[in-house]
Amino acid sequence: MPVYEYYCDPCNGIFEALRNMRQASEPSPCPVCNGESQRIMPTSFSAFTFRDGYPRRIPDKGTYWHLGREVKNPVTGAVRPNEHPEINKPEPAPTLLKGDAEVQREQRREQAKAMVAEETERQAAIQAYERRQASNPKPADV
Ligand SMILES: [Zn+2]
């Protein structure tokens, strides 16, 4: 049996019902108020009933519809256009392969070694300069 969509005016909501084709155009009882609801054209691309400005479906599970996908929360904060935080999960940081991690560690070790060497060289230069200063006092100091 195909699924058809019906619209309940008092509830201002859409629901789906499995019915055989002969019954399809007959009104279907609303799952909320049991009122007669008329069949409507599929709303997949144009939900026209809203809750808090978002498409709503009945039975109302308290969920919202975002670009045809069911979500628990409406978009409230700033998001990129046509995205929803529940649907477009941020991409996880890429996991490094064992070899890549080893290469990165090696690079960091090399960087640290280079920094230590640079600092040792600088200290040596300062000491050499100080020794030169001590053994050759400027003429003004004499
Ligand atoms: Zn109803």
Whether residue 47 has pLDDT greater than 60: no
Distance 2 CA to ligand 1 centre (A): 21
Whole-number average pLDDT of the chain: 80
Q: Are 6 and 49 in contact (CB under 8 A)?
A: no
Question: 118 alpha carbon to ligand 1 midpoint, in Å?
Answer: 78
* Range of 36-50, 85-99, 114-128 with top mean pLDDT: 114-128
Q: Rounded distance, CA 61 to CA 56, Å? A: 9
* Alpha carbon of 87 to ligand 1 centroid (Å): 29
31 CA from centroid of ligand 1 (Å): 7
The owner of tokens 């709303």 is 43
Between 126 and 141, residue with greater pLDDT: 126
Calculate mean pLDDT across residues 22-31.
Answer: 89
Instruction: Place 49 in a pLDDT band, splitting at 50, 70 and 90.
Output: low
Who wins on pLDDT, 122 or 88? 122
Cα 102 to middle of ligand 1, angstroms: 63
DSSP state of 104: H
pLDDT band with cut points at 50, 70 and 90 for residue 82:
confident
**Contact (CB, 8 A) for 86 and 49:** no
Q: How far is the CA of 104 from the centre of ligand 1 (A)?
A: 62
Q: Output the CA 22–ligand 1 centroid distance in Å.
A: 23
Which pLDDT score, from 0 to 100, does residue 16 have? 86
- In sequence order, which residues have a C-beta less than 8 Å from that of residue 44 and are 6 or more positions away? 68
73 versus 127: the higher-pLDDT residue is 127
